[in-house]
Amino acid sequence: MADTTRLTLAALASLSLLHSLPIAAHENDDPLLSKVMIDQLEWRNADDEDPYALDAQAWIGKDLHKLWLKLDVEHREGATEEAEIQALYSRAITPFWDLQIGWRRDIKPTPTRDWGVIGIQGLAPYFLDINAALFVQDSGDTAARFSAEHDIMLTQQWVVSPEVSFNFYGQTDQETMTGSGLSNAQIGLRLRYEIRREFAPYIGIIWQKKFGTTADFAQSAQEPVSDTQWVAGIRAWF
């Protein structure tokens, strides 16, 4: 538990460091801006002991050029089961879309994996937040991820947010128990109350499912192939 706490606090401190960097810009230049976003810090009612998840990101830069950090952590049974960090250079290619390239490291599960990243992130029609990326290892192994989220304003403070995400792999990796093709998917629905725009507690429900060889690995390890969980957490940015 101590290792997990240190990992989470260190990662959040790294994200916060970007926000605390001094802003220096000439009067006629674009200002140097930064933002830290805790999209999800939530408890889940899984059968595992002490289950929680953290999804956070931060950026610093100007209108066209930014540096992004992205962090994804899942904790179960007193240990960090999944932990991933990305460092990306982001270039605006349209008013609503950024092209991103950089590096991803899978810290957990072991063994550690490093990937090159190329992806896009932005706002699609109907205000869909889209994030899509292709990952490539130096061995030639590949993976891809797609996620979409949409905020629906019920009132000035109540917001319901459906989301979907999918992970794909170009090959089977027995060490990390992932199979080729569509590996897993998650569908979620969260209802939050924005005490301030920068801070909002929420409740929700998520459904997760493994597919193909990934599902076979889970069954062999006597793990569930699909699961539905209630969640409660906070969303914040500064």
Per-residue confidence in pLDDT tens, the chain, 238 aa: 444 444 444 554 554 554 544 444 444 567 899 999 999 999 998 776 778 999 999 999 998 999 999 999 998 877 888 999 999 999 999 999 999 999 999 998 888 999 999 999 999 998 999 999 999 999 999 999 999 999 999 999 999 999 999 999 999 999 989 999 999 999 999 999 999 999 999 999 999 999 999 999 999 999 899 999 999 999 999 9
Tokens of 52: 């929680």
Residue 5 has a pLDDT of 46
Residue 101 has a pLDDT of 98
- 23 CB burial (10 A radius; 0-12, 13-18, 19+): exposed
Q: Looking at the domain 2-21+32-237, which fold is it?
A: Porin (2.40.160)
Residue 81 has a pLDDT of 87
Strand partners, 236: 38, 199
Distance CA 61, CA 51 (A): 34
Dihedral in degrees, nearest 10, Cα atoms 120, 70, 85, 136 = 0
Residue 110 has a pLDDT of 84
Residue 28 has a pLDDT of 54
pTM: 0.85
Taking a C-beta distance cutoff of 8 angstroms, is the pair 124, 132 a contact? Answer: no
Residue 29 has a pLDDT of 61
